[in-house]
């Protein structure tokens, strides 16, 4: 890759500056071992939430709440973020982050549990936007759940990995991502793009 391309990518990552609460949630996420999305991915989440007017957002992988704050920043004032994480400590940090940033508690539903145990209880077609940033080995199952949960025209976002594009990477997680990417691209149920932001961000609209 040319140095100009690398510089352009770095510039895009820093183009939108996060607010203090996102920065604090990012620091907390690092401490807790739940790395937050970077500014590039975060600003895309915020923009997508705004562009789609997403009132009902489902997030899988709350962490310490940085991505949730980006999403809430783009959602309409009556939008509700439902976010799932299996670690109670991460959830506590996220709740604190949402409150510190001034979001009323009715705007967020922070649900404790394994995503694949919680998601089947959620209503079909009830979500405008589903954001996946949890266990990559489970992405095929998250895809099945997200397809069910999204309304027609709803948007699916999945954080990706740099390794997916490297043919030399053949670990199970990377293979799983490749399979999920192929499924979304080829099955015809979504209009899809893989954005070169952060470690990649798959964005797909349900037909
Ligand atoms: C990369 S961190 C999420 C960071 C967050 N999206 C942010 O940007 O601040 C991944 C999170 O997924 C959670 N997680 C991992 N496997 C999970 C599962 N099976 N069900 C629910 N949460 C899970 C972890 O506890 C962790 O908090």
Query: What is this model's ipTM?
Result: 0.99
Q: Are 66 and 91 in contact (CB under 8 A)?
A: no
Q: Contact 190/205 with Cβ under 8 angstroms?
A: yes
129 has pLDDT over 80: yes
Q: Cα(108)–Cα(53) distance, rounded to whole angstroms?
A: 16
Q: Closest ligand 1 atom to the C-alpha of 42? A: 8
Judge whether residue 156 has pLDDT over 80. Answer: yes
Q: How many structural domains is the chain composed of?
A: 1
> Closest residue (by CA) to atom 19 of ligand 1?
114
Domain that holds residue 26: 3-206
For the residues 162-179, what does the mean pLDDT come to? Answer: 96
Average pLDDT over residues 106-130: 98
pLDDT of residue 2: 87
> Residue 71: which CATH number?
3.40.50.150
| pLDDT higher than 90, residue 169 | yes
Give backbone dihedrals phi and psi of 136, rounded to 5 degrees, phi first. Answer: -65, -25
- The pLDDT-based confidence of 193 (bands split at 50, 70, 90) is very high
As a three-state string, the secondary structure of the chain is CCHHHHHHHHHHHHCCCCCHHHHHHHHHHHHHCCCCCCHHHHHHHHHHHHHCCCCEEEEECCCCCHHHHHHHHHCCCCCEEEEEECCHHHHHHHHHHHHHCCCCHHHEEEEECCHHHHHHHCCCCCEEEEEECCCHHHHHHHHHHHHHHEEEEEEEEEECCHHHHCCCCCCHHHHHHHHHHHHHHHCCCEEEEEECCCCCEEEEEEC
Query: Can you name the residues that pair with 80 across neighbouring β-strands?
Result: 56
| 63-74 residue pLDDT tens | 999 999 999 999
Å from CA of 44 to ligand 1 middle: 19
Q: Whose CA is nearest to atom 16 of ligand 1?
A: 135
Place 47 in a pLDDT band, splitting at 50, 70 and 90. very high
- pLDDT confidence of residue 102: 98
Distance CA 181, CA 160 (A): 10
Question: Which residues have any ligand 1 atom within 6 Å of their CB?
Answer: 29, 34-37, 61-67, 84-87, 90, 114-115, 133-135, 138
Average pLDDT of every residue of the chain: 97
Give the distance (Å) from ligand 1 centre to CA of residue 199: 16
Place 25 in a pLDDT band, splitting at 50, 70 and 90: very high
């Amino acid at each position: 890759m040319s140095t100009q391309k690398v510089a352009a990518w770095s510039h895009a990552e820093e183009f939108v500056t996060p607010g203090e609460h996102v920065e604090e949630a990012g620091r907390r996420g690092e401490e807790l071992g739940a790395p937050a999305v970077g500014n590039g991915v975060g600003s895309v989440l915020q923009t997508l939430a705004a562009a789609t007017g997403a009132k009902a957002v489902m997030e899988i992988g709350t962490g310490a709440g940085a991505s949730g704050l980006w999403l809430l920043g783009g959602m309409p004032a009556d939008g509700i973020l439902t976010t799932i994480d299996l670690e109670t400590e991460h959830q506590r940090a996220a709740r604190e982050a949402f409150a510190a940033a001034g979001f009323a508690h009715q705007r967020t539903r922070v649900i404790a549990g394994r995503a694949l145990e919680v998601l089947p209880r959620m209503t079909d077609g009830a979500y405008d936007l589903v954001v996946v940033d949890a266990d990559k080995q489970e992405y095929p199952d998250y895809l099945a759940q997200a397809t069910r949960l999204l309304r027609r025209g709803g948007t699916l976002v999945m954080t990706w990995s740099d390794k997916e594009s490297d043919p030399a990477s053949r670990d199970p997680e990377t293979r799983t991502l490749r399979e999920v990417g192929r499924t979304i691209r080829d099955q015809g149920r979504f209009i899809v793009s893989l954005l070169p932001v952060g470690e990649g961000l798959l964005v797909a609209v349900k037909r």
